[in-house]
């Protein structure tokens, strides 16, 4: 067994902008910032929405393919889940005002979400279906590309899975239990290695500046 210590990491991101066409690849994460000041009518590719013009139809939903923030327009691919057999039908693509759609109340997905399978309507072998995975991509065909716990990948409909929030009570209980189990000795050991910590901080600074 070889013991190693990670002293710095670098993260790059592939970004799809609102227009849905321009991809920026391998951008250092330090050069972008998450958008926080957005309103209920700001949409991005991969957002699921419902039609406010026909809000009573719960089986109809859409996927945002692109958005024009300046003109407040969006291109949406519509889908309908058949109430008789649960199959998902692909309908028309439409350009419409962002004020005519709203966030779907049940389909909230983001890349890297940990998800759990709750049903099955895809053409997969049910005996080999995995239950827990990581969301890799929201495809334009309305399906979610998932990396499952066994290393396999497949596409599922949003009705088949749900994201697991890190704020779930079980996560909080686990975190609090880990904090309580920490020993005073480990803190004392860390405090006694002041010189080593100073050296590591200098290495970190050099790594970041490189």
- Report the pLDDT averaged over residues 153-161: 93
pLDDT at 161 over 70: yes
How confident is the prediction for the chain on average, in pLDDT? 80
pLDDT at 55 over 90: no
pLDDT at 106 over 60: yes
pLDDT at 166 over 70: no
**According to the model, what pLDDT value does residue 84 have?**
82
Its pTM surpasses 0.95: no
Fold type of domain 109-178: SH3 type barrels. (2.30.30)
Give the pLDDT confidence of 190-203 residue by residue, as tens digits: 444 445 556 555 55
Give the pLDDT confidence of 63-76 residue by residue, as tens digits: 999 999 889 999 99
DSSP string, the chain: -----------EEEEE-TTSS-EEEEEEGGG--------TT---TT-EEEEGGGTT-TTEEEEEEEEETTTTEEEEEEEEE-TTT-PEEEEEEEEEEGGGEEE-SS----TT-EEEE----SSS-GGG--SEEEEEEE-TTS-EEEEETTS-EEEE-GGGEEEPPTTSHHHHHHHHHHHHH--HHHHHHHHH-HHHHHHHHHHHHHHHH-
**According to the model, what pLDDT value does residue 169 have?**
43
What residue ranges do the domains of the chain occupy? 109-178
Question: 136 and 111 in contact (C-beta within 8 Å)?
Answer: yes
Q: Worst-scoring range by mean pLDDT, 33-37, 42-46, 189-193?
A: 189-193
132 or 204: which carries more pLDDT confidence?
A: 132
- Report the pLDDT averaged over residues 153-178: 72
- Report the pLDDT averaged over residues 2-20: 88
**According to the model, what pLDDT value does residue 128 have?**
73
């Amino acid at each position: 067994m070889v013991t190693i210590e990670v002293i710095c990491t670098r993260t790059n991101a592939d970004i799809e902008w609102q227009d849905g066409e321009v991809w920026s690849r391998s951008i250092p994460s330090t050069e972008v910032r998450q958008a926080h000041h957005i309103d209920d009518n700001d949409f991005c590719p991969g957002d699921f929405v419902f039609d406010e013009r026909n809000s009573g139809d719960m089986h109809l939903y859409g996927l945002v393919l692109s958005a024009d923030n300046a003109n407040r327009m969006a291109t949406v691919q519509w889908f309908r889940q058949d109430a008789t057999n649960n199959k998902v039908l692909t309908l028309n693509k439409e350009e419409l005002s962002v004020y005519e759609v709203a966030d779907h109340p049940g389909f909230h997905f983001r890349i890297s979400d940990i998800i759990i399978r709750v049903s099955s309507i895809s053409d997969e072998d049910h005996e080999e279906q995995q239950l827990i995975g990581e969301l890799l991509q929201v495809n334009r065909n309305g399906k979610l590309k998932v990396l499952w716990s066994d290393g396999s990948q497949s596409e599922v409909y949003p009705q088949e899975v749900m994201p697991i929030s890190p704020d779930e009570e079980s996560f909080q209980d686990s975190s609090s239990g880990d904090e309580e189990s920490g020993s005073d000795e480990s803190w004392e050991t860390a405090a006694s290695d002041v010189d080593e910590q100073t050296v590591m901080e200098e290495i970190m600074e050099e790594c970041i500046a490189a």
